[in-house]
Amino acid sequence: MKKIIITIDGPAASGKEKIAKFISKKWKLNHLDSGILYRRLALNFLTNDVDIDNVYQIKKKLNTINNISFRNSLRIRTQKISKLASKIAVYDCVRSFVNKLQHNYVKKNKKKQGFVIDGRDIGSVVFKNADLKLYIEVNPEIRAKRRYKQLIDSGEKSIYPKILKEIKLRDRLDKIRKHSPLIVPKGAYIIDNSGTFKNTIGQIAKLLRKI
C-alpha cells in the first residue's frame, strides 16, 4: 500500500506542531517535526563550541555526526536555541544534512500508513511530491499573543513586545534566506489558523477526505 505524505509548512508559532500532532493521532500517521532536527543541531554546535558564523567549522562538525535524536525536549525549546536554529538553517550544508535525515526516516519507518511532516520547506523542497500540502497562516500579532500566553501560563516571565519582535525577526530570517526560504509551496492549500482550533481542523478534515 502506498504511504501517504502530508506536509505542513508555515512561520514560527503558527500552530504547525499542534495541527501535525492532531492529524498524526486521528489518521494514524507518523509525525516528524523537522524543526527538532535544526534545534538538535543548534544545541550540538553550541555545546561543542562550533562557531556558527564559520561554515567550514560547521561542515567539519557535520561530518562527525552519525546520529541526531528526533525527540523533542525542553532543552531545545529555549529562546536561545530558537534563534540559533534559525541562524544555522541558512546554510545549504545544514539543510542537506537535515533533508537526508528526513528521507531516511521515511524510508525506515514503514509500519504506519504514512507521514505528516512539518517545517518551513517540506512541501516546497523536501517532499515536493507529497499527497497533500498545507501552509498555515496566522498574522504575527496573533502568534505573539498566543506564545506570550503559553509562556505566562507555564510560569515563565514574558514581555509581549519582545516576543512580537522575535517572531518578526525569525519570519525575516526564514523568508529571506537564499536556500529553501519559507514560501507557500506549489500546490499547497492555505489554512487560516487565526480562529479556533476546531475551525482549523474543519478546514483540514475536508481536504483529507479527498486523498
In the chain, the amino acid numbered 142 is: I
Nearer to ligand DC, 1 or 85 (CB): 85
Give the binding range for ligand DC (CB under 6 A) out of 56-64, 119-127, 152-160, 194-202. 119-127
Task: Please enumerate in sequence order all residues whose Cβ is within 8 A of that of 97, keeping only pairs 6 or more positions apart, or say none.
Answer: 41, 62, 65
Strand partners, 190: 135
Closest Cα to residue 158, out of 79, 83, 46, 100?
79
Q: Given candidates 7, 24, 86, 193, which one binds ligand DC under the rule CB under 6 A?
A: 86
CB of 207 to ligand DC, least distance (A): 21
**Interface residues for ligand DC in 26-85 (CB under 6 A)?**
34-35, 38-39, 82, 85
**Interface residues for ligand DC in 141-200 (CB under 6 A)?**
170, 174
Tally of residues, the chain = 211
CB of 39 to ligand DC, least distance (A): 6
Cβ count near 63 (within 10 Å): 10
Q: Does 121 bind ligand DC (CB under 6 A)?
A: yes
Closest Cα to residue 75, out of 84, 66, 67?
84
Distance (Å, whole) CA 139 – CA 88? 25
Nearer to ligand DC, 174 or 204 (CB): 174
The DSSP letter of residue 2 is: P
CB of 89 to ligand DC, least distance (A): 3
Give the binding range for ligand DC (CB under 6 A) out of 116-124, 136-144, 159-167, 186-194. 116-124
Q: Are 121 and 95 in contact (CB under 8 A)?
A: yes
CB of 107 to ligand DC, least distance (A): 18
CB of 143 to ligand DC, least distance (A): 11
CB of 74 to ligand DC, least distance (A): 13
Strand partners, 9: 119, 135
In the chain, the amino acid numbered 130 is: A
In the complex, the residues that contact ligand DC under the rule CB under 6 A are: 12, 34-35, 38-39, 82, 85-86, 89, 119-122, 170, 174
